[in-house]
């Protein structure tokens, strides 16, 4: 891990009508880090992801990826600059096989000039990497939820992202699957991908993150290592005060 | 110098035709609001109502403004039949399928009418056809005036039905949230059936009105349905006040174009398309947004 | 990816090409040749509609493009005596220009709104055409001299060439990355966007390709028919025909529009000799039946119901 900053977010805000979903959020992520974004339900985490991936354009603030200003760029442009993401509510292309889903991302991601056969080879490799090697020609509707999550991850990886945004990929996994997923994320980081995760499963967050960012009511309320964040009184209040049920896992 | 007489006359004509347009659009609005479907065949229900009225007049001598109720009832049954056999199976299908099915119905009925009744335009001439009412400097065609008043009555009847009767309130509930309605015991399926039937009845009545002020021919429904889509887009989808608002906008605009632009009556035909295109381009979900999305 | 085309299919194609080019026009009498030309024309419309539909843009207004193609060709002949073959090409190009305009304007429209807007465009064009008769000939229409002096065999070769061009285009699309882009946009445009696919570029591109061939078809029609009027070439009939055939045959396939067209046209021809008008009633029935009973069209029906019967037999015997 080096000190080069990959993602720099400054004063990011998003208003819908009168409601501020995200308010004045600033943070940076360094190349090769694994950072988690946590917060109670409705805190604005997915909105942040939507802003980072270009799905929403910010009401205010800037987003800088690898030295380039990507504020307000459209999703496909952001993708081609190196951002890959999964969706919390899984959305594989329904009438395409698993393999075809991944080939699509390979063809149009950050390195779009590859040939069809090359894209297919890469897609096959990715299938195996996420454990879908034997399900290449299956349709997403015939897969279980964890299976569909794997499609999401493989698809996000296929765009060859510099920054990988994972939206709650760990929820609903068995302990074995969780360990595998953590191993996968770590191996991705080792290969050079920076990972930014939204997670509710605290064990995963604590086990995997270099740093944690906490948002609540659309604002960043804490940032630091997991120990720092766990002992931050504002964070404790946010979780205990409003959403006691989110702390079923003890924090650190 | 403003020619007030001309302006007021144009405005009056616009309002009168808006009444007809509202009657034409109400059924479409009801189905869209309650069932979430854009019924491409709505125009053909109107067309069938117009022919029903025409034949009742030509063969049995019944005045169209009286046989209106008969046409409405006839179309109610046709509508429920159509729902039961073709619409109900696809209620859960993707919107594309629903579009194609109702489009298919539309083509079917248009051509059926051509086969049965040929493509000639029919008119209804009653004893009072040419008469007009004069209110000060404005002339109102008598037939148009009665048509307008009946449209108002139809609208009021619909509103009363929706707010004061049990099935009507069920429709309102379903239009807001059909899962919640089902949970509180409303028979959603029956509500859909009834809504479609009522909408068809409204179309039938509107068709009877159409037969008195316009020509009756197989494509008359298609032409009117395009105007109805325009009105939906202006006024908001599945929304009665919006339908009235949209009808007024379209009716008055057409009338002004007809009066003030050279050869305006020809160009007025295109107003609904221009409005529709312009509005959808500026706001892709229509002016007032959607009630169902 | 192995060979571009399987051995069996290649042989079939060669045989088909030989038959269509050398034997067919000599064997068929004038009426059947005329019918074949009409079928080929319809196939071009069906295939080009399908290209656009692959991006999820369901057009019910192809008549606008067809009519522009027809009138461009006819009027250019009338004004500057542009030779018909060039006129037909001009028809295709002008239709593309129109499609670029409509395509950009309708980018944000989804589903039904897009479809309704395409109808509005076609109808609006018809109204404009009637209101400026000095330029367009108005309701009286425009005449052109017969194509190739009335030589039906040459007309046949021309339409066959255009059809071959369309089919080849669809085939190339299916073999390329375009297929993935179009399909992704169709199945979920927003997600496709996040996966790096520029929806604008591909949606407009599909529109342009579709429009080119639809316009060519219009241009051909105007010279072959020698007379066009707005109600006919801008009419809903044309738009409906464009979509019924591929839907019947099977969407998003090469053979679907081809098979669908042949069957629909044959049915229509039967009806045409039975009733003076209203033969498009078959179109309406077909749409209803397809949506209710066979949403994947004839090809889907074949794959799901009939082909498995053959496979079963071979595993038993």
On whether the CB atoms of residues C276 and B119 are closer than 8 A, the answer is no
pLDDT in tens, C186-206: 999 999 999 999 999 999 999
Answer whether A76 sits within 8 Å of C196, measured CB to CB: yes
Q: Please tell me the distance from the alpha carbon of residue A179 to that of residue A185, in angstroms, as a whole number.
A: 10
Q: A73 CB near a chain C CB, below 8 Å?
A: no
* Best residue of C115, C291, C293, C296 to probe chain B, by most B CBs closer than 10 Å: C291
Q: Do residues A169 and A61 share a domain?
A: yes
**Virtual torsion, Cα B196, B198, B201, B207, nearest 10 deg:** -70
Q: Do residues A225 and A236 share a domain?
A: yes
How many domains would you assign to chain A?
2
* pLDDT band, very low/low/confident/very high, at A103 (cuts 50, 70, 90): very high
Q: Do residues A180 and A72 share a domain?
A: yes
pLDDT in tens, B254-278: 999 988 888 888 888 889 999 999 8
pLDDT of residue A251: 46
Helix (H, G, I), strand (E, B) or coil at B137: coil
Residues of C with CB under 8 A from a CB of A: 1, 175-177, 180-181, 183-184, 187-188, 190-199
* Best residue of C110, C239, C281 to probe chain B, by most B CBs closer than 10 Å: C281
pLDDT in tens, A52-93: 999 999 999 999 999 999 999 999 999 999 999 999 888 999
Q: Do residues A71 and A166 share a domain?
A: yes
Q: Please tell me the distance from the alpha carbon of residue B195 to that of residue B82, in angstroms, as a whole number.
A: 12
Distance from CA of C177 to the nearest CA of A (A): 7
Answer whether C292 sits within 8 Å of B86, measured CB to CB: yes
- Closest partner residue to B263 among C131, C283, C290, by Cβ? C131
> Is A115 inside any structural domain?
yes
Alpha helix stretches (DSSP H) within chain C: 7-18, 24-27, 30-53, 62-80, 84-105, 111-131, 133-136, 152-175, 177-187, 189-194, 199-225, 230-233, 236-249, 255-274, 281-293, 297-301, 307-316
pLDDT for residue C2 is more than 50: no
pLDDT for residue C284 is more than 70: yes
Q: Please tell me the distance from the alpha carbon of residue A55 to that of residue B293, in angstroms, as a whole number.
A: 19
What the block records as the tokens of C255 is: 């053979």
Q: Do residues A102 and A65 share a domain?
A: no
Find the domain containing A60 and state its range. 1-82+162-252
> Is A88 inside any structural domain?
no
pLDDT in tens, B183-237: 787 888 999 999 999 999 999 999 999 999 999 999 999 999 999 999 998 887 7
Q: Do chains C and A touch (3 or more CB pairs under 8 A)?
A: yes
Judged by average pLDDT, the poorest of B187-191, C155-159, C214-218, C261-265 is: B187-191
> Is A152 inside any structural domain?
yes
Q: Which residues contact C7 (CB under 8 A, 6 or more apart)?
A: none
> Is A40 inside any structural domain?
yes
Count chain B–chain C contacts defined by CB atoms under 8 A. 124
Q: Do residues A186 and A249 share a domain?
A: yes
- Mean pLDDT in chain C? 91
pLDDT in tens, C200-233: 999 999 999 999 999 999 999 999 999 999 999 9
Please count the CA atoms within 13 angstroms of the CA of B251 that sit on its side-chain side: 24
Q: Do residues A5 and A121 share a domain?
A: no
Work out the burial of residue A219: count CB atoms within 10 Å of its CB; fewer than 13 is exposed, 13-18 middle, 19 or more buried. Answer: middle
- Domain end marker among A160, A190, A207: A160
Query: Which residues are bridge partners to B142 per DSSP?
Result: none
Answer whether A116 sits within 8 Å of C1, measured CB to CB: yes
Candidates C67, C49, C64, C55; CA nearest to C109 is: C55
Closest residue in A to C200 (Cα) is: A76
Q: Please tell me the distance from the alpha carbon of residue C236 to that of residue B44, in angstroms, as a whole number.
A: 14
Distance from CA of B146 to the nearest CA of C (A): 30
Q: Do residues A188 and A76 share a domain?
A: yes
Q: How many Å separate Cα A189 from the centre of its chain?
A: 13
Task: Spell out the domains of chain C, with CATH numbers in brackets.
Answer: 28-316 (1.10.3470)
pLDDT for residue C6 is more than 80: no
Q: Which residues contact A123 (CB under 8 A, 6 or more apart)?
A: A99, A102, A103, A106, A154, A158
Taking CB atoms and an 8 Å cutoff, what residues of chain A touch C188?
Answer: 91, 93-94
Q: Do residues A229 and A211 share a domain?
A: yes
Structural domain boundaries in chain B: 4-221
C147 conformational bin, left if phi > 0, alpha if psi -120 to 50, beta if neither: beta
Q: Do residues A166 and A98 share a domain?
A: no
Q: The tokens 């009138």 sit on which residue?
A: C71
Q: Please tell me the distance from the alpha carbon of residue A243 to that of residue A39, in angstroms, as a whole number.
A: 10
On whether the CB atoms of residues B50 and B207 are closer than 8 A, the answer is yes
Distance from CA of A56 to the nearest CA of C (A): 11
pLDDT for residue C315 is more than 80: no
Answer whether A108 sits within 8 Å of C196, measured CB to CB: yes
- Closest partner residue to C184 among A75, A104, A116, by Cβ? A104
Candidates B28, B13, B94; CA nearest to B230 is: B28
pLDDT for residue A248 is more than 50: no
Q: Do residues A133 and A185 share a domain?
A: no
* pLDDT band, very low/low/confident/very high, at B28 (cuts 50, 70, 90): very high
In total, chain A counts a number of residues equal to: 252
pLDDT of residue B291: 39
pLDDT for residue A231 is more than 90: no
> Is A87 inside any structural domain?
no
Q: Please tell me the distance from the alpha carbon of residue C312 to that of residue C317, in angstroms, as a whole number.
A: 9
Candidates C202, C200, C283; CA nearest to C236 is: C283
Q: Do residues A187 and A71 share a domain?
A: yes
pLDDT of residue C1: 37
pLDDT of residue B176: 84
Please count the CA atoms within 13 angstroms of the CA of A16 that sit on its side-chain side: 7
Q: Residue A210's domain is classified under what CATH number? A: 3.40.50.300
């Amino acid at each position: 891990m080096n000190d080069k900053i990959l993602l720099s977010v400054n004063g990011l805000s998003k208003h819908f009508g009168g409601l501020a979903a995200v308010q004045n959020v600033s943070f940076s992520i360094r190349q090769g880090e694994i950072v988690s974004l946590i917060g109670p339900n409705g805190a604005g985490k997915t909105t942040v992801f939507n802003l980072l991936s270009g799905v929403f354009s910010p009401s205010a603030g800037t987003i800088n990826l690898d030295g380039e200003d990507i504020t307000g760029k459209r999703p496909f442009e952001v993708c081609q600059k190196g951002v890959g993401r999964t969706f919390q509510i899984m959305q594989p292309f329904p009438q395409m096989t698993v393999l075809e889903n991944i080939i699509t991302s390979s063809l149009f991601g950050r390195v779009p000039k590859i040939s069809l056969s090359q894209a297919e080879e890469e897609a096959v490799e990715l299938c195996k990497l996420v454990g879908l090697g034997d399900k290449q020609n299956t349709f997403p509707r015939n897969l279980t939820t964890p299976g569909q999550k794997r499609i999401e991850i493989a698809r996000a990886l296929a765009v060859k992202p510099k920054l990988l945004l994972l939206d709650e990929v760990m929820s609903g996994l068995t302990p074995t699957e969780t360990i595998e997923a953590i191993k996968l994320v770590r191996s991705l980081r080792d290969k050079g991908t920076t990972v930014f995760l939204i997670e509710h499963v605290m064990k995963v967050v604590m086990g995997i993150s270099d740093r944690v960012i906490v948002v609540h009511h659309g604002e960043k309320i804490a940032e630091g290592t997991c120990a720092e964040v766990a002992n931050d009184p504002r964070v404790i209040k946010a979780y205990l005060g409003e959403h006691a049920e989110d702390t079923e896992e003890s924090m650190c | 110098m403003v020619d007030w007489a001309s302006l007021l006359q144009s405005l009056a004509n616009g309002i009168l035709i808006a009444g007809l347009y509202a009657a034409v659009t109400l059924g479409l609005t009801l189905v869209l609001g309650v069932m979430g479907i854009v019924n491409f065949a709505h125009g053909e229900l109107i067309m069938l109502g117009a022919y029903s009225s025409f034949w009742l007049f030509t063969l049995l001598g019944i005045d169209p403004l009286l046989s209106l109720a008969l046409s409405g009832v006839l179309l109610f049954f046709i509508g429920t039949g159509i729902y039961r056999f073709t619409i109900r199976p696809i209620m859960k299908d993707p919107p594309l399928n629903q579009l194609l099915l109702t489009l298919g119905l539309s083509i079917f009925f248009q051509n059926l009418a051509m086969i049965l009744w040929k493509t000639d335009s029919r008119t209804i001439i009653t004893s009072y056809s040419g008469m007009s009412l004069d209110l000060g400097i404005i002339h109102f065609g008598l037939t148009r005036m009665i048509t307008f008043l009946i449209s108002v009555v139809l609208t009021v009847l619909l509103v009363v039905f929706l707010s004061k009767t049990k099935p009507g309130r069920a429709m309102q509930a379903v239009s807001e949230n059909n899962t919640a309605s089902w949970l509180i015991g409303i028979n959603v399926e029956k509500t859909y059936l009834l809504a479609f039937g009522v909408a068809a009845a409204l179309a039938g009545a509107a068709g009877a009105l159409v037969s008195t002020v316009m020509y009756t021919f197989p494509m008359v429904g298609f032409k009117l349905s395009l105007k109805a889509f325009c009105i939906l887009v202006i006024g908001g989808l599945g929304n009665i006040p919006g339908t009235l608002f949209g009808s007024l906008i379209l009716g008055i605009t057409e009338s002004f174009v007809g009066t003030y632009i050279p050869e305006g009556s020809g160009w007025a035909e295109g107003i609904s398309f221009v409005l529709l295109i312009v509005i959808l381009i500026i706001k892709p979900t229509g002016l007032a947004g959607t009630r169902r999305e | 990816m192995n060979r571009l085309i399987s051995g069996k299919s290649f042989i079939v194609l060669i045989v088909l090409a030989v038959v269509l080019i050398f034997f067919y026009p000599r064997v068929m009498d004038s009426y059947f040749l005329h019918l074949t030309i009409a079928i080929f024309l319809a196939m071009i419309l069906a295939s080009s509609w399908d290209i656009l539909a692959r991006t999820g843009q369901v057009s019910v207004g192809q008549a606008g493009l067809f009519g522009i193609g027809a009138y461009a060709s006819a009027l250019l002949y009338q004004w500057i005596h542009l030779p018909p073959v060039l006129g037909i090409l001009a028809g295709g190009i002008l239709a593309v220009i129109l499609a670029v305009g409509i395509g950009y304007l309708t980018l944000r429209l989804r589903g039904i709104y897009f479809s309704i807007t395409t109808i509005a465009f076609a109808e609006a064009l018809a109204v404009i055409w009637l209101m400026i008769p000095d330029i367009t000939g108005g309701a009286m229409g425009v005449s052109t001299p017969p194509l190739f002096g009335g030589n039906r065999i040459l007309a046949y070769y021309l339409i066959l060439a255009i059809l071959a061009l369309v089919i080849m285009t669809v085939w190339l699309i299916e073999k390329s990355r375009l297929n993935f882009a179009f399909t992704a946009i169709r199945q979920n445009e927003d997600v496709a966007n996040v996966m790096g696919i520029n929806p604008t570029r591909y949606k407009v591109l599909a529109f342009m390709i579709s429009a080119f061939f639809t316009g060519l078809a219009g241009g051909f029609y105007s010279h072959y028919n020698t007379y066009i009027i707005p109600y006919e070439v801008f009419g809903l009939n044309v738009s409906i025909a464009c979509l019924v055939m591929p839907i019947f045959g099977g969407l998003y396939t090469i053979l679907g529009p081809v098979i669908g067209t042949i069957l629909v046209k044959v049915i229509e021809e039967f009806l045409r000799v039975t009733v003076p008008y209203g033969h498009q009633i078959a179109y309406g029935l077909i749409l209803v039946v397809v949506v209710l009973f066979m949403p994947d069209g004839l090809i889907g029906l074949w794959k799901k119901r009939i082909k498995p019967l053959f496979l079963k037999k071979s595993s038993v015997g």
